[in-house]
Amino acid sequence: MNDTPGWTSPGSAPSDGQDGSGVPRPSAPADANGSAPQWSKDQPPAGQWSPPTDRTPQPAGPGPNWGAPRPDVHWGKPPAAKPGVIPLRPLGMGEILDGAAKTLRIYWRTVLAITVTVAVISQTVDILAQRYLVPAPPEISADATPAEELQQSLDAAQSSLIGLAPSLLVTLMASTVSAALLTVVISRAILGRPVALGSAWQEARPRLLQLVGLTLLLAVMGAAVVTVGILPGLLVGGAPGVALVLLGGLGSLAAAVWLMVRFSLASPALMLERQGVTQSLKRSAKLVQGSWWRIFGIILLTQLLIFLFAMIIAIPFTIVGIAVDGEGFSGLLSGSATRFGWPFLIVTGIGGVITSAVTYPISAGVTVLLYVDQRIRREALDLELARAAGLPGYGPTAADRTVGG
């Protein structure tokens, strides 16, 4: 008996009072002898039914076209065009990460020329700042009270931040220049067009000052939001002040993250659409609207992967640096006023160059591809990119007014 009324699979035995279709047989009037008419003896036996179609014997087992798609021109969707490192359609998170990594792998000469140069400059400045600008940690006496130890630690942290300020500024500028050049390279990689280092520099140079201003504006904006959040707690002081600092710090940190994600696409908008700083911020806010959580998740996952990769590289180089500069490490453990020497700084600096050379293009690639993905979803940029790439079937090649020029 079937669960579905009115349907029985071909070849199944009829149930009592039913034919092969599963529908009850109609009752027939009795004949002259008073007996109900019997079904013909020519009825096929149960389980031997076959549909009245072609009776040509079929070969056993799957045929040569077994599993082939239906031969219909309208069956399914045609594959998206892919002139470069990504398909020209809305992208998934894995495709964005893969596109960034593929750009590094295919155009490694240009990409590494940019990132290694920038990383060497920033790491050199960082090593010099740590050696000559950052003061040695203060000696903590054995009879110091907990309050004195805390105050000395705060003073040491403040001195370190002041000493590292030039290094942080140079690193910020270096990463900005790297992002500008890599944006040009990645925009060409989307179209399948390689670009030399000189061409990328000529393309990015006119907008470098604007990009630096945008980067500094975002940094100041985030710092101002956090400062406003913790300032009331600092003014109150005491136990209530500590509670206000914690609450205000968490709230302001959440607000700063929201702003950074909202304006995360301003950099590629400035570089690729040739807009000003204010227009780029508005453009990013418009593209991110309605997709904040998706963009936040992709950025968070990317930064987590970059952090894990940085730790994988940094830990072995740190161990080697300690091994070759054991005197400085033992002095720090004993609490004496000393610092790491040149061997440790050089070894860890080499690890930093390797890390930056790989993570810079991944971070920049994800940002640019997120920008392209949002424009494909909202503005059908894929059609313009296909025309710019010269693909057949998309009309005449557009003038250099799309991503990649």
Q: How far apart are CA 265 and CA 183, in angstroms?
A: 12
What are the domain boundaries of the chain?
Answer: 93-219+291-386
Q: How far apart are CA 211 and CA 268, in angstroms?
A: 9
Question: How far from each other are the two terminal CA atoms of the chain, in whole angstroms?
Answer: 68
Q: How far apart are CA 216 and CA 399, in angstroms?
A: 33
3-state secondary structure of 24: strand
pLDDT of residue 7: 33
pLDDT digits (tens, 9 = 90+) for 142-177: 566 666 666 666 666 666 667 667 777 878 888 888
Is the predicted pLDDT of residue 368 greater than 90, yes or no? yes
Answer yes or no: are the C-beta atoms of 166 and 125 closer than 8 Å.
yes
Tokens for 286, please give them.
């418009």
Answer yes or no: are the C-beta atoms of 108 and 358 closer than 8 Å.
no
Q: How far apart are CA 316 and CA 63, in angstroms?
A: 57
Could you tell me which of 266, 270, 232, 271 has the C-alpha nearest to residue 248? Answer: 232
User: What pTM, to 2 d.p., does this model score?
Assistant: 0.73
Say which residue the tokens 């453990």 belong to. Answer: 333
Q: Mean pLDDT check: name the lowest of 8-12, 168-172, 242-246, 336-340.
A: 8-12
Tokens for 119, please give them.
């990383």
Please state, rounded to an integer, the average pLDDT across all residues of the chain: 78
Phi, psi of 43 (to 5 degrees): -60, 140
Q: How far apart are CA 318 and CA 140, in angstroms?
A: 25
pLDDT digits (tens, 9 = 90+) for 330-356: 555 555 545 667 888 899 999 999 999
Q: What mean pLDDT is predicted for residues 3-16?
A: 38
pLDDT of residue 350: 93
Q: Which DSSP category does 131 fall into?
A: I
Q: How far apart are CA 246 and CA 295, in angstroms?
A: 27
Q: How far apart are CA 179 and CA 185, in angstroms?
A: 10
Q: How far apart are CA 242 and CA 384, in angstroms?
A: 55
- Side-chain half-sphere of 198: how many Cα atoms within 13 Å? 0
User: How many Å is the Cα radius of gyration of the chain?
Assistant: 35
Tokens for 268, please give them.
């590629």
- If one compares 304 and 22, the residue with the highest pLDDT of the two is 304
pLDDT digits (tens, 9 = 90+) for 205-238: 999 999 999 999 999 999 999 999 988 887 877 7
CA dihedral 50, 56, 57, 59 (to 10 degrees): -110
- If one compares 15 and 186, the residue with the highest pLDDT of the two is 186
